[in-house]
Amino acid sequence: MPNPTATFETSEGNFKAEIYLEQMPITAANFINLAKSGFYNGLHFHRVIPGFMCQFGCPHSKDPNSRRAGTGGPPHGNIQDEHPDNFKVTNGPGTLSMANTGAPNSGGSQFFINVTDNAFLDWWDRRTPSKHPVFAKINEGYDIVQKIEGLGSRSGSVRRPIQMISITIED
């Protein structure tokens, strides 16, 4: 059975990603369940750093000017880290990876889209203690992600609000 596809409808346009449900069942199912519940609808990208990544998924980002944006998680709390030896996909351009605080089992609803080779964030890479498992990859509309990237800054703040209107999952 093929992996599900997520369609991301943003204020800047749409893009799609294959969700690695079979390979990353905990992380992918968490994302899918949040998307299907409408959790992500109306949130904003709260951290966009050109040449690095675009981060999204904090419930406090419903207000794009909230000082708490980037500090929240899902209503059910954090999920268990997932680092399968048989599925090592690097944090390369166009991949979606679970954001976390750097502490074990601290991921929840926030994720980021890599816009460059960020292999140092791979869970098996020892250059940094941060471990960020890849759970999806954009397969359509990467130009929209590049447009979003262009609205960021070195500090991570965005020049104008970038809203996630909805995320639709196709099984």
Strand (E) or helix (H) holding 7: strand 5-10
Q: Which listed residue (112, 118, 135, 163) is catalytic? A: 112
Q: Please state, in angstroms and as integers, the Cα–Cα distance from residue 131 to each residue in 2, 6, 41, 103, following that order.
A: 27, 23, 27, 9
CB 76 within 8 A of CB 65: no
Whether 8 is catalytic is no
Q: Which listed residue (52, 56, 111, 135) is catalytic? A: 52
* Dist CA 106 CA 27 (whole Å): 12
Whether 121 is catalytic is yes
Q: Which listed residue (30, 34, 46, 47) is catalytic? A: 47
* Dist CA 104 CA 20 (whole Å): 21
Backbone CA torsion sign across 100, 58, 38, 143: negative
Q: Which listed residue (23, 30, 91, 100) is catalytic? A: 100
Whether 47 is catalytic is yes
* SS3 label, residue 104: coil
Q: Which listed residue (8, 15, 46, 55) is catalytic? A: 55
* Dist CA 107 CA 77 (whole Å): 9
* Dist CA 67 CA 105 (whole Å): 24
Whether 43 is catalytic is no
Q: Which listed residue (8, 21, 121, 163) is catalytic? A: 121
Whether 56 is catalytic is no
Which residues carry out catalysis?
47, 52, 55, 100, 112, 121, 132
